[in-house]
A and B are shown apart, each in its own frame.
Chain A
Amino acid sequence: MASIAVEMRDVVKTFQTPEGTHLNAVDHVSLKIDDGEFFSLLGSSGCGKTTSLRMIAGFEWPTSGELFIHGKPMGHTPPYQRPVNTVFQNYALFQHMSIFENVAFGLEMEKRPKFDIQDRVARALEMVQLTGLDRRRPRQLSGGQQQRVALARALVKVPDVLLLDEPLGALDLKLRKEMQLELKALQQKVGITFVYVTHDQEEALTMSDRIAVMSKGKVMQLGTPVEIYERPNCRFVADFIGESNFFEGKITATAGDQATVFVPALNAEVIGLLTGNLVNGQQATVSIRPEKIRISSEPVLNTNCFKGVVTQTTYIGADTHVYLDVYGMRIKVWDMNKISTLDPRAHYTVGETVCVTLFPENTLVMATN
């Protein structure tokens, strides 16, 4: 029954490049963001995620297509008349104002009475744990604190949708991890729709209800973190999110959601799960995550089993990263150290020949891009 908070309907945004050519920064994007959802736009720089966000905020207008917020077409509505607020990448705090004045700014623009403003600002600062710092200037706060001010300044307006443009990008790793959890908890508490732009896949996986993976202005896949990681629909997504081993081949048979792919490099057929709309005879990519490959001394299955030679092992505590040579292809396997690594059975020695098993339910057959 969730209503739609933001809808992009066939939105295109064209920019002129310095060379004079035209570039679709956002290329026919259609998506719907549910009310109360934590929605991430994920992609590397230049994929169109920030431009999409800026169009929702009203800083840019679509070249074609239409954008709706709660069903209302936005057209050329200026930012100051949209029911959305933004947390900017570098916070964009007003340096000439105190923390209180920064947070109060948006409420003053709504011409709220003074006592109401004071009350709301106090509660917003409490929510982001900045009580008592309201008289400071932004410059006198740490990066993490400034980040919270930016958050409070946007949230105090109680927008329908909160837009966040890589808000944690400037923080160090530890703080970023803390803020990720805090942001997620905050979002659940206030129940506001969050649209979150990031290039950090881990961040997107940790926080989002749904993720749109973008590349070159297009949405490659839209789904929950589990769907995106476990069922990437194309090589780009599988490669961008997490790590994976890829084999190129051609589909020779399909049965239900299973497909058989002939992989020339292995000179063998591999059976896997179809994740895209592919048919018999089509080029396809076989992808398997390194942690899902089984290494053993004896073959486990009749199919999807290959001999490989260990070329390198790296012990990293919880896992051992094993690199194998399978018919000249480099395969990476994350082998979980379930038994103590000091146990001689846990060791793979370089040069050892092992069996590599790709379980069909973990092996994915997807579009090559």
Chain B
Amino acid sequence: MLKKLREDRPFQGTVLILPTLVFMVGLLIIPLLLTLVVSFGTRSPDGGVIYGFSLNNYLRLLGYSTNCPGGQPACFDPLYLQILWRSLTLAFNTTVLVILMAYPLAYFIARSPAKRRNMFLFLVLVPLWTNFVIRVYAWMMLLRTQGVINGVLGYFAGLLGIPFAPLEMLYTPGAVLVGMVYEFLPFMILPIYTSLEKIENALYEAAADLGANPFRTFLRVTLPLSMPGVVAGTILVFIPVMGTFIVSDLLGGRQVILVGNLIQNQFLTARDPTFGSAASLILMIMTLIVTYFYSRKFGFGEEIVAA
């Protein structure tokens, strides 16, 4: 489409992308370059940046430490690698769980009568009307030791005469996982729904006609044709989960530190923008690597984007 425009009227294409271009260069490319420069600097005693070319921040992230027990000059401290690994596995687990929950729901919506589909989609989107942070706070209310879930469980235990000790749910990795899944579920449902909804009914009939029972129809026709939606959803979920810090901050407390928390902490509490910048770039690189290999295998969900 853009190509055609360019052929017809040479300037129109440029004019169309100009606002976005200015926005992206000014607020994304330039800040990114600044981050890169800062990450090679060193922290000044008052929390500023001394520019230079030092790899210390990156070495620190990879486990190089000068703060060693026994007065050694250097040693290996896996603290930051653990944080990176934790973020990666959490993002992976969240994505898998979200797919498992979103797919059946998207399938159900896509196969409902057209009249009801819009209502269901509306219901999927309703939670997004409430502020992100407020929704996470709501989970705190539910999961707290004195919270709603423990209250209900305790009530029924009391009725049945079973001794009940409140479950410690808040500030655990599980709580963070639940919060993430909850927050990102709609972003998986919508693309999967879009790809499922596009599958013509005649294709299901053709599969049945050729002898495929419903289960085999699903495996051979439905699933492959909806993969673009799963891929698009995965990208929409995996990348933000890698970077968020609010969910882990509120539901994980000190127990679940993710890269996002580390970066936030470096900029706002430890006042080391150089180390924070290095961590930001490492996060970006990690995300890019994972997305690259993933999309090389499955594509980018182009068909969804094109739809």
Distance (whole angstroms) from the CB of B207 to the closest CB of chain A: 7
Question: Given the interface contacts A88-B202, A92-B203, does A106 sit within 8 Å of B224 by beta carbon?
Answer: no
Say yes or no for A315: interface residue by CB 8 A criterion.
no
A109–B205 touching, CB < 8 Å: no
Question: Given the interface contacts A79-B205, A88-B202, A105-B220, does A96 sit within 8 Å of B225 by beta carbon?
Answer: yes
- Chain B residues near A92 (CB-CB < 8 A): 200, 202-203, 205-206
CB-CB nearest in chain B for A104: B210
B221–A86 touching, CB < 8 Å: no
- Interface range, A side: 20 to 34
Say yes or no for B146: interface residue by CB 8 A criterion.
no
Bound complex: CA of A59 vs CA of B202, how far in Å? 10
By CB atoms of chain A within 10 A, which of B200, B207, B208, B225 has the most?
Answer: B208
How would residues 89 to 102 of chain B score, 1 for a CB under 8 Å from any chain A CB and 0 otherwise?
Answer: 00000000000000
- Chain A residues near B211 (CB-CB < 8 A): 80, 106, 109-110, 157
Distance (whole angstroms) from the CB of A324 to the closest CB of chain B: 49
Distance (whole angstroms) from the CB of A170 to the closest CB of chain B: 13
Say yes or no for B295: interface residue by CB 8 A criterion.
no
Residues of B contacting A: mostly: helix
Identify which of residues 201-258 in chain B touch chain A, using a CB-to-CB cut-off of 8 Å: 202-203, 205-213, 216, 220-221, 224-225
CB-CB nearest in chain B for A163: B209
- Chain B residues near A95 (CB-CB < 8 A): 225
Distance (whole angstroms) from the CB of A104 to the closest CB of chain B: 10
Contact of A78 among B208, B210, B216, B221 (CB under 8 A): B208
B202–A105 touching, CB < 8 Å: no
Question: Given the interface contacts A88-B202, A90-B202, does A96 sit within 8 Å of B224 by beta carbon?
Answer: yes
Contact of B216 among A90, A96, A109, A157 (CB under 8 A): A109
- Chain A residues near B213 (CB-CB < 8 A): 78, 80
- Chain A residues near B225 (CB-CB < 8 A): 95-96
Distance (whole angstroms) from the CB of B301 to the closest CB of chain A: 14
Distance (whole angstroms) from the CB of B203 to the closest CB of chain A: 5
How would residues 61 to 88 of chain A score, 1 for a CB under 8 Å from any chain B CB and 0 otherwise?
Answer: 0000000000000000011100011101
By CB atoms of chain B within 10 A, which of A79, A86, A95 has the most?
Answer: A79
Contact of B209 among A79, A93, A94 (CB under 8 A): A79
Bound complex: CA of A110 vs CA of B216, how far in Å? 12
Bound complex: CA of A106 vs CA of B207, how far in Å? 8
By CB atoms of chain B within 10 A, which of A58, A90, A94, A110 has the most?
Answer: A94
- Chain B residues near A93 (CB-CB < 8 A): 206
Identify which of residues 169-226 in chain B touch chain A, using a CB-to-CB cut-off of 8 Å: 200, 202-203, 205-213, 216, 220-221, 224-225
A85–B202 touching, CB < 8 Å: no
A94–B221 touching, CB < 8 Å: yes
Bound complex: CA of A82 vs CA of B162, how far in Å? 56
Distance (whole angstroms) from the CB of B3 to the closest CB of chain A: 21
Distance (whole angstroms) from the CB of A158 to the closest CB of chain B: 12
B209–A109 touching, CB < 8 Å: no
A80–B212 touching, CB < 8 Å: yes
A88–B210 touching, CB < 8 Å: no
B210–A109 touching, CB < 8 Å: yes
Distance (whole angstroms) from the CB of A6 to the closest CB of chain B: 15
- Chain A residues near B224 (CB-CB < 8 A): 96
Distance (whole angstroms) from the CB of A369 to the closest CB of chain B: 34
Question: Given the interface contacts A94-B221, A96-B224, A96-B225, does A105 sit within 8 Å of B205 by beta carbon?
Answer: no
Distance (whole angstroms) from the CB of A232 to the closest CB of chain B: 34
B200–A106 touching, CB < 8 Å: no
Task: Supply 11 A–B pairs (Cβ within 8 Å), ascending by A.
Answer: A80-B212, A80-B213, A85-B210, A86-B209, A90-B202, A92-B206, A94-B203, A94-B207, A94-B221, A95-B225, A105-B210
Sorted nearest first, the 3 A-B pairs with minimum C-beta distance are A106-B210, A109-B211, A92-B202
Give A contacts to B, CB under 8 Å: 57-59, 78-80, 84-86, 88-90, 92-96, 105-106, 109-110, 153-154, 157
